Structure 1
Amino acid sequence: MEFDDQMRRFFGTDDLANVSAEGMASGIERMQVEFGLETDKGRRFAMWSLLYMLGSAPDLDVAFKDPLDRDAARTFMDLLDQANSAEDSRL
């Protein structure tokens, strides 16, 4: 699942700046429901990643039963934190 596809599917746009607060809340809720029903590991990880970036992801132990998936999610979190730190230091 492509990032832009997720944005359009859940928020109706690929630019979150154009999403109202109500639209954001509704999109996140739909994504959380679909995440809970999704069985494909790749799609689950993609949805969790976007939910994480939006501050609405479930805890790792709830989201991923497989320890390798939890490790991959931790790596994603670390990489995102590093990217954000590097961006903040340039400002």
Structure 2
Amino acid sequence: MNLDDQLFRYFGTTDLAAVPPQVLAAGIEHMQVDLGLEQDRARRFALWALLHILGGAPALDVAFKDEGDREAARRFMGLSEQAGED
């Protein structure tokens, strides 16, 4: 998945700072629906990770059936918290 492609798909631009709040909310909702429909594990994880960054990710037990995927998500969350502290 290309990040710019995903941002353009869901928000109509690659510049999130230019996205009005109502468009951001609608894009996040669209991503949540797509996450629920996605069957490919890698694509699911990528969608979940972007949703996490945007504050719209579902709980890990809802998003991932596999414990390995939940653990990978926990590691991602920890890394993203560390990056935010810098």
Instruction: Write the distance in 2 (CA, Å) between the matches of 1:67 and 1:3.
Output: 26
Q: Show the counterpart of 1:76.
A: 76
| Counterpart Cα distance in 1 of 2:5 and 2:44 | 14
How far 1:6 sits from its partner (Å)?
1.1
Q: TM-score, normalised to structure 2's length?
A: 0.96
The alignment status of 1:14 with 2:3, answered yes or no, reads no
The alpha-carbon deviation at position 41 of structure 1 amounts to 0.6
1:40 and 2:40 equivalent?
Answer: yes
Paired positions, count: 86
Distance 1:5 1:43 in 2: 13
1:66 paired with 2:66, answer yes
Q: Normalization by structure 1: what TM-score?
A: 0.91
Whether 1:25 aligns to 2:17 is no
SS at match of 1:57: coil
Larger Cα-atom Rg: 1
Distance 1:79 1:26 in 2: 27
Distance in 1, matches of 2:50 and 2:32, equals 10
Q: Percent identity?
A: 59
1:30 shift after superposition:
0.6
Deviation at 1:2, TM superposition (A): 1.5
Which letter does structure 1 place at the counterpart of 2:79?
A: L
Superposed structure 1 runs of 4+ greater than 6 Å apart: none
List per-residue Cα deviations over 1:32-84 (Å, max 9, x = no partner).
Answer: 11110000111111110011011110000110000110011011000000010
What do residues 6-28 of structure 1 show as CA deviations (whole Å, max 9, x unaligned)? Answer: 10110111110110011101101
